[in-house]
């Protein structure tokens, strides 16, 4: 990666980055030692003790720094310098990207025509608009509206009717929470990347723990690049699409039945929410990739 093209990952699967670098570089080099000798005219003694820790699930990133530099007053003195080179997860990603790019291992995919020559397992880079799984997005929107309705309920109808209405709203909210929780598997859920100026959709299974501050809201509806490894390619209309329920407890539910459930929940005289266009399968043209990083 060129120094004037520094990417900032918003999502980074650190485990994959570390594993790939360890394979490519035959493990990690932890310490660098330099010995030099020179003539000096003054005496200087300096010691630095410190520790840089990363709040990260990978312990080997917690690296101690104990450099020592000593100068003597005599001519022709020598000193030893000991140095620990520190890398952050983002700098390691930059290093991995540079290695893959220099070895021409990354294919840039811009539209549906490019997927015909792709092979599962290849590294690709795409750029486009990121969206939530449409089912999760619909449920989140409806839950927010229901909670708002409960909080600002108009009691002019009378206390009895108001309490009855709140009871119904609370029941529907619990149902929404149940569906939303079952659409996520171990804090893993799908994002959809709509590749710029094309009909290509890319499914990205992501983990919330790999987002900055474990918050994904800042990337929704934004335009980002994604580096990933291909796991599924939908090259024609005859190919089976990518099921957005595949990793959830609802995977055996037919799409028609799920739509019926969603329609019954969202059909309310108080809200204007259309669930008819929500699909659970992403068809041609489409890709599914393991996202390594989402960045700008």
pLDDT in tens, 176-187: 777 777 776 668
Rounded to whole angstroms, the Cα distance separating 221 from 193 reads 10
Q: Say what angle helices 255-266 and 134-151 make with each other, to 10 degrees.
A: 20
Mean pLDDT along residues 285-292: 98
Handedness of CA 14, 17, 20, 24 (dihedral sign): negative
Beta carbons of 284 and 241 less than 8 angstroms apart: yes
Domain boundaries in the chain?
107-295
Rounded to whole angstroms, the Cα distance separating 106 from 112 reads 17
Residue with tokens 């929410």, as numbered in its chain: 273
Token readout for 167 is 């009871």
3-state helix, strand, coil in the chain (%, to 5): 35, 30, 40
> Is a pLDDT exceeding 70 seen at residue 71?
no
**Per-residue pLDDT tens for 11-62?**
999 999 999 999 988 776 554 444 444 544 444 444 444 443 334 444 344 4
Handedness of CA 129, 125, 289, 87 (dihedral sign): negative
Residues 6 or more apart whose CB falls under 8 angstroms from that of 65 comprise 48, 49, 50, 51, 52, 84, 86
Q: Residue 203, exposed/middle/buried by CB under 10 A (0-12, 13-18, 19+)?
A: buried
Task: Name the pLDDT band for 263 (thresholds 50, 70, 90).
Answer: low
Beta carbons of 159 and 142 less than 8 angstroms apart: no
Task: Count CB neighbours of 115 within 10 A.
Answer: 21
Rounded to whole angstroms, the Cα distance separating 277 from 262 reads 11
Q: Which of 10-19, 150-159, 237-246 has the lowest mean pLDDT?
A: 150-159
Mean pLDDT along residues 110-139: 92
Handedness of CA 248, 194, 214, 13 (dihedral sign): positive
Rounded to whole angstroms, the Cα distance separating 227 from 290 reads 9
> What is the model's pTM?
0.73
The larger pLDDT score, comparing residue 293 to residue 278, is at 293
Rounded alpha-carbon distances, angstroms, from residue 293 to 69, 75, 125, 127, 289: 39, 53, 10, 12, 11
Rounded alpha-carbon distances, angstroms, from residue 127 to 13, 123, 162, 192, 217: 18, 14, 49, 12, 18
The larger pLDDT score, comparing residue 199 to residue 70, is at 199
The DSSP-derived string for 117-164 is G--TT-EEEEEEEEEE-HHHHHHHHHHHHHHHHHHT--GGG-HHHHHH
Encode 164-198: b = buried (16+ Cβ within 10 Å), e = exposed: ebeeebeebbebbeebbeebbeeeebbbbbbbeeb
């Amino acid at each position: 990666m060129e120094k004037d093209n520094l990417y900032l990952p918003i999502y980074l699967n650190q485990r994959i980055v570390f594993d790939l670098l360890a394979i490519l570089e035959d493990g990690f080099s932890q310490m660098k030692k330099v010995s030099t000798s020179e003539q000096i005219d003054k005496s200087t003694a300096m010691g630095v003790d410190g520790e840089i820790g990363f709040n990260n699930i990978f312990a080997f990133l917690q690296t101690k720094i104990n450099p020592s530099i000593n100068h003597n007053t005599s001519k022709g003195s020598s000193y030893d310098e000991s140095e620990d080179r520190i890398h952050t997860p983002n700098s390691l990603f930059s290093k991995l990207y540079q290695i893959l790019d220099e070895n021409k291992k990354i294919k840039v995919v811009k539209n549906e025509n490019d997927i015909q020559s792709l092979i599962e397992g290849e590294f690709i880079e795409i750029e486009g608009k990121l969206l939530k799984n449409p089912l999760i997005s619909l449920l989140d929107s409806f839950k927010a509206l229901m909670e708002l309705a409960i909080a600002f309920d108009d009691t002019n109808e009378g206390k009895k009717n108001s309490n009855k209405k709140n009871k119904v709203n609370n029941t529907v909210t619990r149902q929404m929470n149940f569906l939303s929780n079952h659409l996520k598997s171990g804090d893993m859920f799908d994002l959809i990347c709509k590749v710029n100026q094309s009909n290509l959709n890319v499914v990205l299974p992501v983990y919330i723990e790999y987002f900055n501050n474990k918050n994904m809201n800042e990337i929704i509806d934004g335009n980002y690049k994604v580096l990933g490894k291909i796991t599924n390619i939908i090259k024609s209309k005859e190919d089976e699409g990518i099921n957005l329920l595949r990793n959830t407890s609802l995977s055996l539910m037919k799409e028609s039945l799920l739509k019926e459930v969603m329609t019954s929940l969202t059909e309310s005289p108080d809200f204007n929410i259309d669930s008819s266009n929500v699909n659970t399968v992403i068809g041609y043209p489409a890709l599914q990739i393991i996202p390594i990083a989402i960045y700008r």
